[in-house]
Amino acid sequence: SSAASDVYKRQNQVWVSDITIFKFSDKYYYLCAIIGLFSRKIISYRISQSSSTQLLTKTFRQAYSERKTETGLMFHSNRGTQYIFYTFVRLLETLGVKQSLSLTGRPHDNAVSKAFFSILKNEELYRRHYKSEIDTIQGIHRFIDFYNNERPHSTLQKTPVQKEQKYWGKKKESSLE
The per-residue pLDDT for 175 is 55
Q: Are 28 and 133 in contact (CB under 8 A)?
A: no
For 24-44, give the secondary structure using H, E and C.
ECCEEEEEEEEEECCCCCEEE
Tell me the pLDDT of the chain averaged across its residues.
Answer: 86
Q: Are 59 and 91 in contact (CB under 8 A)?
A: no
Total residues found in the chain within this entry = 177
Within 13 Å of residue 79, how many CA atoms lie on the same side as its CB? Answer: 6
Q: Are 72 and 11 in contact (CB under 8 A)?
A: no
| pLDDT, tens digit (0-9, with 9 covering 90-100), for 85-138 | 999 999 999 999 999 998 776 656 788 999 999 999 999 999 999 999 999 999
Instruction: Report the C-alpha gap between 20 and 175 in whole angstroms.
Output: 40
H helix or E strand, kind and range, residue 161: helix 160-176
Question: Where are the strands (E) in the chain, listed by range?
Answer: 14-24, 27-36, 42-48, 74-77, 98-101
The per-residue pLDDT for 105 is 65
The per-residue pLDDT for 168 is 73
Give the percent of the chain with pLDDT over 70. 87
Give the percent of the chain with pLDDT over 90. 63
Nearby residues of 158 by Cβ (< 8 Å), 6 or more positions away: 152, 166
The per-residue pLDDT for 58 is 96
Q: Using 50, 70 and 90 to split pLDDT, how confident is the model at 7? A: very low
The per-residue pLDDT for 108 is 66
Tell me the β-bridge partners of 22: 29
Average pLDDT of the segment spanning 26-33: 95
| pLDDT, tens digit (0-9, with 9 covering 90-100), for 42-74 | 999 999 998 888 999 999 999 999 887 767 899
Q: Is the pLDDT of residue 173 over 70?
A: no
